[in-house]
Amino acid sequence: MTDYAKRSFWLETCSDDLTPRAPLTQSIDVDVAILGGGYTGLWTAYYLLCSNSDLKVAVLEKEIVGFGASGRNGGWCSSKFPVTPSVLQQRYGRDQARALMLAMNDTVDEVSRFCQVEGVDAHFHKGGILTLARGDHQLPMIQSSYEAYSGLGLGEQYELLGPEQVQERIKVTKVCGGLFARENASLHPARLVRGIARAIERRDGAIYERTEITGFKEGSAASLLTAGGEVRAKRALVLAGESYLSQLPRLHRVVLPIYSLITLTEPLTEQQWAAIGWQNRESVASCNYTVDYLTRTADGRILFGSRGAPYRIGSTISDDQELHPPTHAHIEDLVVEWFPVLKGIRFTHHWGGPVGMPRDWMPMVAFDPNTRIATARGYTGQGVSTTNLTGRIMAELISGKRTALCGLPIAERQSPLWEVEPLRWLAVRYMQDAFRRIDEAGKEGKPEPVDAGLARYVGRH
């Protein structure tokens, strides 16, 4: 097993041997140069090449394709957007909020279409999302979420479920109700990201791995700088590094890296599955502020993910944060708390990675023809499908072949910058702690902490 395969179960089982492609060793001239071999960079390259087959496109990746969040995530390919429908409506109005939600639905189908057309077996399965109210305190969230979607005229895609209806789908403890959302899928993240890379190469796009971008120049001299040479770009430089963009001095405050951690069980036995149900393989979550997300993998394991690893001052990204024993141990406990029948189950994999959080939780995609800088980022842990949408929009913005997608509220916008340190650290650690306290109080049936309203207001999205 290569070291890269140890980064996640998905990289280990993606059926590639993960030998890095050749690095860049000399300066080159291209039309579009892309930093980052994750979904954002690769979808952009793919759609650019689909609509302009003679374009010269190069993707430069510091490690290997899928090294970042794209090869490590929870496998939710969902129409769920990082900003809730009610906040979207407040910020951009009903029509824009609805248009964005519909575009997200289409995006899930577009990922499926890509897999079929390009022959990528990414285990795509459209099982929907089941959001659970675990405790009465979570019922209002389910209800208001349903009302927000209904208010946008999308109610028929959602179904409010009583506790018995939930139990018919999946047997989880403490469930008081649920919301089923049809337009969602789950998939094998690394098979997808590696498959997009192959589709790009079939269209003569170039991918350089083990090639770190150390800086970039804008305007008529636009280029990405690496130790092996410069990549001069006639049309655009695409910065698609998501959380890792925070490590480039000029972009340090545009996104905040927050670690999301995952624990995976061994494959369950037939008896265990019979006791749990979950035959439709929905993606499952509760309404916890500390976030939990569950996937039933194609080979019959339970993937349980959660936030919780503490933010480190200076937006640090480091290998040692991928394994945080207290958080991983807590997730193992949660698996058994949700599914008591799994007491004694073996956990075979633990991993994690940084998600990129913008100051206003709103993803963005933009291209400035004067500086030639293009960027898409800020998915806050909901990028498997959203990156496909931003990748398509980015290709349209760069090629000038615009459709209605370029009018969506994620296009041609910027998020505010994060605060300077140590303010940033203080605020983020406060929010992480406040969300944990709110969840704990709810779980124990205690009144909410006195600062719950403040935390909800600051963290509203």
Contacts with ligand FAD, residue ranges (CB under 6 A): 35-41, 60-63, 67-70, 72-76, 78, 212-213, 240-242, 244, 260, 262, 293, 305, 352-355, 379, 381-385, 387
- Least separation in angstroms between CB 422 and ligand FAD: 25
- Least separation in angstroms between CB 242 and ligand FAD: 3
- 53 with 203: CB under 8 angstroms? yes
Nearer to ligand FAD, 118 or 212 (CB): 212
Nearer to ligand FAD, 391 or 442 (CB): 391
User: What is the C-alpha separation between 440 and 135, in angstroms, rounded?
Assistant: 11
Nearer to ligand FAD, 68 or 205 (CB): 68
CA distances from residue 156 to 99, 148, 149, 161, 285 in whole angstroms, order as listed? 16, 12, 9, 13, 21
Rg (CA), the chain: 21
- Least separation in angstroms between CB 8 and ligand FAD: 8
Run of H or E residues at 201: helix 189-202
Nearer to ligand FAD, 195 or 305 (CB): 305
Residue 446 amino acid letter: K
Which distant-in-sequence residues (6+ apart) come within 8 Å of 395 by Cβ? Answer: 44, 47, 48, 50, 51
- Least separation in angstroms between CB 453 and ligand FAD: 29
- 166 with 61: CB under 8 angstroms? no
- 384 with 274: CB under 8 angstroms? no
How far out from the chain centre does Cα 275 lie?
31
Residue with tokens 């193992």: 332
- Least separation in angstroms between CB 305 and ligand FAD: 5
- 245 with 255: CB under 8 angstroms? yes
Nearer to ligand FAD, 240 or 374 (CB): 240
- Least separation in angstroms between CB 260 and ligand FAD: 4
- Least separation in angstroms between CB 358 and ligand FAD: 12
Structure letter (DSSP) for residue 300: S
Nearer to ligand FAD, 63 or 183 (CB): 63
Nearer to ligand FAD, 9 or 39 (CB): 39
